[in-house]
């Protein structure tokens, strides 16, 4: 599987998203995914499943050096001391001595971004996180982090799928060597199956609409994706998206789909534009 590399990060382009799984379901999903060949697991303190993810990694028996683990610090823990304490809790739950990528989960209104990023950089220097990044950062905040603070941002994780435009974030990220990870990359799977254009492309490639939507993302420069999949069958289906080779006509048809369907809009979300 191809990896995205920068700022000390080597992240497989297709990973397992774990929200909102917890407990035994989450542990089993992680074990199953690693057995199938996944090497990228995405979690967060706010998901309440880091312990289950850690148990799944431990039970799978895959060498730690082969697994990329991403976790995130919640937006109420962004004071410098809070960041340091948060990663220690995450590492304890995950049963790990480091994570491969540590993200600010959401920006907080009134946060002192320079000080927060300084604390993140210290974690990188201490080896607690191999790389650092952000999540749900629009271009204005990415610019502040990169150009004003000078932080070594490896990745911005954002909602991104065939029904949501992220061209501004992608353009800025590519210009600065930053990977973009798509969360909710299948939007609502039932909606994708009902889109005539995706269904037609799926028939053409003997694939599913979900596989086409994933292939569209994974074929883009600098983009990774972390679809949630609890069952082994769905995990295997998502892996097969790596074998779907879309052509220029397919990509143009998907590009022309309406792109205003944002699914994740909590009250604390930043201004997206």
Task: State the CB neighbour count (10 A cutoff) for residue 5.
Answer: 13
pLDDT tens-place values along the chain, 273 residues long: 899 999 999 999 999 999 999 999 999 999 999 999 999 999 999 999 999 999 999 999 999 999 999 999 999 999 989 999 999 999 999 999 999 999 999 999 999 999 999 999 999 999 999 999 999 999 999 999 999 999 999 999 999 999 999 999 999 999 999 999 999 999 976 788 889 999 999 999 999 999 999 999 999 999 999 999 999 999 999 999 999 999 999 999 999 999 999 999 999 999 998
Q: Is 47 considered catalytic here?
A: yes
Q: Which of 5, 10, 4, 269 has the alpha carbon at shortest distance from 141?
A: 269
Going by their DSSP bridges, the two strands 16-17 and 40-42 should be labelled as: parallel
pTM of the model: 0.97
Are 104 and 75 in contact by the 8 Å Cβ rule? The answer is: yes
Out of 47, 102, 172, 183, which one is annotated catalytic? Answer: 47
DSSP 147: I
């Amino acid at each position: 599987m191809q990896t995205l590399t920068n700022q000390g990060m080597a992240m497989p382009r297709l990973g397992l998203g774990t929200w909102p799984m917890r407990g035994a379901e989450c542990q089993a999903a992680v074990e199953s995914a690693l057995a199938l060949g996944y090497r990228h697991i995405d979690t967060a303190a706010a998901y309440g499943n880091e312990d289950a993810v850690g148990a799944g990694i431990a039970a799978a028996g895959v060498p730690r050096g082969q697994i990329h683990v991403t976790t995130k610090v919640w937006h109420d823990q962004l004071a410098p001391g809070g960041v340091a304490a948060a990663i220690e809790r995450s590492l304890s739950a995950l049963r790990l001595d480091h994570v491969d990528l540590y993200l600010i989960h959401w920006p907080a209104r009134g946060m002192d971004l320079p000080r927060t990023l300084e604390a993140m950089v210290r974690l990188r220097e201490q080896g607690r996180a191999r790389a650092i990044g952000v999540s749900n950062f629009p271009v204005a905040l990415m610019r502040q982090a990169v150009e004003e603070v000078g932080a070594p941002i490896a990745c911005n994780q954002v909602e991104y799928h065939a029904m949501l435009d992220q061209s501004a974030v992608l353009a800025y990220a590519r210009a600065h060597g930053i990977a973009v990870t798509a969360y909710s990359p299948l939007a609502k799977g039932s909606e994708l199956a009902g889109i005539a254009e995706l269904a037609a492309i799926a028939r053409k490639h003997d694939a599913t609409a979900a596989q086409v939507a994933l292939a569209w993302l994974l074929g883009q420069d600098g983009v990774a994706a972390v679809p949630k999949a609890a069952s082994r069958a769905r995990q295997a289906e998502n892996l097969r998206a790596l074998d779907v080779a879309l052509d220029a006509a397919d990509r143009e048809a998907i590009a022309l789909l309406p792109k205003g369907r944002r699914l994740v809009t909590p009250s604390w979300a930043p201004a997206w534009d």
